Amino acid sequence: MRLLSIEALKRQAASVISTYSADVFGVCSALFELGGMVVMHDPSGCNSTYTTHDEPRWYDTDSMIYISALTETEAIMGDDEKLIRDICETAALLKPTFIAVAGTPVPMLMGTDFAALAAVIERGTGITAFGFPTDGMKSYISGASMAFAALAEKMTVKTEKTPFPSANILGLTPLDFSVNSSAESIKRFLTDNGFCVLSSWAMGGRLSDIARAGGAHVNLVVSQSGIAAAQVLERKFGTPYVAGVPIRKGFSAEAARALKVGETAVAYDGGLGKNAPVVIIGEGVYSASLAASLTMSGVPARVICPLELTAATDGIERISDEAGIKTALDGAVTVIADPLYKPICPEGARFVPLPHEAFSGRIYRREIPDLIGNEDYINAIRKEV
Amino acid sequence: MLKAVDDKTAVAASIRIGDAQSLSPFSCGLEYCPPARGTWNIVHTGMLIPEVHEIFVCAAGCLRGVVLTAAEMGAIERFSTVAVEEHNVLDGSMEELIIEGVTEILHRLAKLPPAVLVYTSCIHQFMGCDLARVYRILRERFPKVLFTDCYMNPIMRKSGATPDMLMRKQLYSFLEPTEKDAASINIIGNDLPTEKTSDFYRMITENGFTLRDITSCRSFSDYREMSKAPLNVVVNPSALLGAKTLEARLGQRYVYLPQTFGFDETERLLRGFALALGVTAPDFIKARGEADNALKAAAGALGKTPVTIDYTAVFRPLGLARLLLSYGVNVTCVFADGFSSEEQENFDELKRHYPQLLLHSASSPLIRTMERGDGKKTVAIGQKAAYYTGTEHFVNIVEGGGMHGFDGIRRMAELITEALYVKKDTRGLIQIKGMGCGCCQ
């Protein structure tokens, strides 16, 4: 038992690879463009980390993301009053469309009741408030999921289905898609296939559009961050969803068919190569969609997903620790992953860099490709392999 | 326990110094983080010790910023992490996590480093983690590796020694008692090298002393040579705790030589330093004259151009504002959330003679939506001042920029003049982390 426990602890060590963006930053990224005020309940550090490494929109967009600047005394005394007062005073001046408070490790230790905080703030300001019990110990997928699901629960209103084919895009954040043309390409894919895009959750989206998301006929979920919201919208409005990123033309056609059928589906299901020599490391929906595109092109590929996974499928291995990933890569001929994974790839394996903002932050931002409908990328890999 | 919200002071972003009542003119509340990244953090500073390995034991959210700092500065091979998970908080495995995590990392490295900096976080402090046991076991397991305890615990930033002060103390914890070399001196606590033309730097080298500074050490053994100096010079106020610790532990005396902007104070400090060195103080007439001329030239060139200063550029922004205003420079605003007690005299003098000088919070939530720049040409001293005023004319320095004494004042005046005439890529430059540490982003 003890030996097992020590082995488990060792798996929490990473000698050379990076760390994925955390849950609290996922909340911020998801809500960034919607006119709300998001407060990370944290002493210091989270603000700089998020705005430096995880938020490419920070320099140019005046989004109201702040920290509470929690002090030792406030933590020991459990002084929630100061936090509430600071938020209410600031909200009175800045008039956000909503308020969100998200936790970090110390508030988790303090047992902070975020739901209660949100209720008091909402009563004090008259502004819709959310409390997210993040603790900085899970990945951004968890936080962004919470945030999108909360929007789906609280901000959407009963709406008639549109008389024309329509869709929402769920789970769209720069953490997975950066700020290149990917967001626009996904929208274009939908319109090219006859869907009107009602709302984007949440790049290039507006809160007023999100409120009317129930009018859509189907939801396109482009990352794990959007699955929980899709499930809420399915329950509230009966809207089916399709998980997948439309990458290669063939795969895009599959995704488009799934959308048109109007039944909840995983567009890449069954499309991955088992025990394939080409391995993709990354976020579940994105990586599986790329793997399916490659497999359909005659290059069987499998996926190692180090992050939370809800839309699981054959061919995706959920491994989050450095040693485990290194072992799982044994025998891989080609590895497609963020450059910060390169040090643990097998010697002799071909490494194809696919930077992921949620892993390497801004370091390789300029090299993050827009893979939507990108035949060239797939062909280049096929040629190399 | 939650209580109903009551009314209290309004959130304020700025105040005339004439109306400010204390060195802490703003209430503490929510904080905004501008995209000016040039100041160093504890990863950058720790990496100043050549060959050491850093291991951070924190939650993923805390690891995220530090691991990417290391990656951006090209030092990820000297950096590792142990992720704290929820179960470690609940099942009492926190000490074992550090011990086994650090052990596992050292086993995975191709070669053992001579020393390891282990950084624990706020969560360990709150849980009462038995760090003494942790380090004892690690030292037993790796007798050839030196370990020291470092801290990333920002929750303590207002409770005594700050993480920055602790870092500058622990940075020298691998120095050990040794025979002293009377003809050697250390500069300690700086992230950036001191300009070789600085008055005190020249006093050291021109009088035949060997000067050691962590910023110029190329190997771990170079760094350990710093144990030999009988005297340490401290410029960064956050390094005073480290200097006092070295005095108690190794018998190294220290001289505090802060970056000052008053001519008389600067000369007094430099003369005191000469006394501590046991050398004759140089004649400062020429150095004073050159600083004076450079300031007059800067003031003449600036005319009525507004000048702003922020607290990341120099350790005493009010001192710099006072000096420039006394030369007729139109200093309009100082960006800072508060000022050190060392600035009391500057604060009082500015209140008396320049009450219209604006103090602007550097992190107020309101500054987020403030208009950045009014289209008029402004010269900023510091990256945050440049960002907040939306100017391309700025002096791009952090932490004093390695400038010191009369030479530093002269150099500062020249940089201000240069900033007036030469535009810089503000967006590109200020987003680079740890200015001068080799970061490429």
Q: Which residues of A touch B81 (CB under 8 A)?
A: 13-14, 19
| Residue B150 identity | C
Does pLDDT of A334 surpass 80? yes
Question: A94 at the B interface (CB within 8 A)?
Answer: yes
Q: Which residues of A touch B86 (CB under 8 A)?
A: 108, 135, 137
Q: Are B167 and B150 in contact (CB under 8 A)?
A: yes
User: Are B62 and A105 within 8 A, CB to CB?
Assistant: yes
User: Are B101 and A25 within 8 A, CB to CB?
Assistant: no
- Residue A304's Cβ-side half-sphere holds a number of Cα atoms within 13 Å equal to 28
Output the average pLDDT for chain B. 94
Nearest by CB to B155, from A43, A78, A85: name it.
Answer: A43
Query: Residue B38's pLDDT is what?
Result: 96
Question: B265 at the A interface (CB within 8 A)?
Answer: no
Chain B contact probe: residue of A48, A121, A356 with most B CBs at under 10 A: A48
C-alpha B322 chain-centroid distance: 22
Query: Residue A313's pLDDT is what?
Result: 67
Mean pLDDT of B309-335: 98
For B233, other C-beta atoms within 10 Å of its C-beta total 27
Question: A293 at the B interface (CB within 8 A)?
Answer: no
Q: What is the pLDDT of residues B92-151, one digit of tens each?
A: 899 999 999 999 999 999 999 999 999 999 999 989 999 999 999 999 999 999 999 999
> Would you place residue A34 in the very low, low, confident or very high pLDDT band (cuts 50, 70, 90)?
very high
Question: What is the 8-class DSSP label of residue B376?
Answer: S
DSSP secondary structure, A353-365, as one string: E---HHHHTTTTG
User: Are A363 and B433 within 8 A, CB to CB?
Assistant: no
- Distance from the Cα of B110 to chain A's closest Cα (Å) equals 11
User: Are A109 and B105 within 8 A, CB to CB?
Assistant: no
Q: What percent of chain B has a predicted confidence (pLDDT) above 90? A: 90
Q: Measure the CA–CA gap between A364 and B184, rounded to whole angstroms.
A: 44
Chain B contact probe: residue of A47, A137, A327, A344 with most B CBs at under 10 A: A137
- Distance from the Cα of B171 to chain A's closest Cα (Å) equals 21
> Would you place residue B373 in the very low, low, confident or very high pLDDT band (cuts 50, 70, 90)?
confident
Question: B157 at the A interface (CB within 8 A)?
Answer: yes
Query: Residue B439's pLDDT is what?
Result: 65
Query: Residue B244's pLDDT is what?
Result: 98
| Residue A116 identity | A
User: Are B122 and A361 within 8 A, CB to CB?
Assistant: no
Query: Residue A250's pLDDT is what?
Result: 78
Report which of residues A16 and A381 the model is more confident about.
Answer: A16
DSSP H helix total and E strand total for chain A: 17, 15
Q: Which residues of A touch B62 (CB under 8 A)?
A: 45-46, 49, 105, 136
Q: Which residues of A touch B13 (CB under 8 A)?
A: none
Query: What sign does the dihedral B265-B397-B401-B406 (CA atoms) show?
Result: negative
User: Are B155 and A86 within 8 A, CB to CB?
Assistant: no
Write down the H helix ranges in chain A: 2-10, 23-31, 46-49, 72-77, 80-94, 105-110, 114-125, 140-154, 174-177, 182-192, 207-211, 227-237, 249-261, 284-296, 322-328, 357-360, 375-384
- Distance from the Cα of B104 to chain A's closest Cα (Å) equals 6
Question: B370 at the A interface (CB within 8 A)?
Answer: no
Question: What is the 8-class DSSP label of residue A213?
Answer: G
Question: B5 at the A interface (CB within 8 A)?
Answer: yes
User: Are A137 and B101 within 8 A, CB to CB?
Assistant: no
Does pLDDT of B7 surpass 70? no
Q: What is the pLDDT of residues B391-421, one digit of tens each?
A: 999 999 999 999 999 999 999 999 999 999 9
Q: Which among A345, A328, A347 has a CA at the least distance from the CA of A337?
A: A345
Q: Measure the CA–CA gap between B314 and B330, rounded to whole angstroms.
A: 18
Q: What percent of chain A has a predicted confidence (pLDDT) above 70? A: 98
Q: What is the pLDDT of residues B161-186, one digit of tens each?
A: 999 999 999 999 999 999 999 999 99
Q: Which residues of B touch A10 (CB under 8 A)?
A: 100-101, 103-104
3-state secondary structure of A103: coil
Q: What is the pLDDT of residues A41-88, one digit of tens each?
A: 999 989 999 999 999 999 999 899 999 999 999 999 989 999 999 999
> Would you place residue A107 in the very low, low, confident or very high pLDDT band (cuts 50, 70, 90)?
very high
Does pLDDT of B10 surpass 60? no
Residue B283 pairs in a beta bridge with none
User: Are B84 and A13 within 8 A, CB to CB?
Assistant: no
Does pLDDT of B441 surpass 70? no
Q: B168 CB contacts (<8 Å, ≥6 apart)?
A: B45, B188, B189, B236, B238, B239, B241, B242
Q: Which of residues 308-347 of A touch B (CB under 8 A)?
A: 323, 340, 343
> Would you place residue A312 in the very low, low, confident or very high pLDDT band (cuts 50, 70, 90)?
low
Q: What tokens were used for B337?
A: 């959330």
Q: Which residues of B touch A362 (CB under 8 A)?
A: 441
Query: Residue B8's pLDDT is what?
Result: 37
Q: Measure the CA–CA gap between B80 and B35, rounded to whole angstroms.
A: 26
For A276, other C-beta atoms within 10 Å of its C-beta total 20
Nearest by CB to B30, from A5, A21, A90: name it.
Answer: A90
Q: Which range among A255-264, B20-29, B234-243 shows the weakest confidence by mean pLDDT?
A: A255-264
Does pLDDT of A2 surpass 60? no
Query: Residue A5's pLDDT is what?
Result: 86
Query: Residue A381's pLDDT is what?
Result: 86
Query: Residue B370's pLDDT is what?
Result: 81
ipTM of the complex: 0.95
Q: Which among A188, A217, A214, A213 has a CA at the least distance from the CA of A202?
A: A213
Question: What is the 8-class DSSP label of residue B154?
Answer: G
> Would you place residue B11 in the very low, low, confident or very high pLDDT band (cuts 50, 70, 90)?
low
User: Are A22 and B4 within 8 A, CB to CB?
Assistant: no
pTM for this structure? Answer: 0.95
- Residue B6's Cβ-side half-sphere holds a number of Cα atoms within 13 Å equal to 6
Does pLDDT of B354 surpass 50? yes
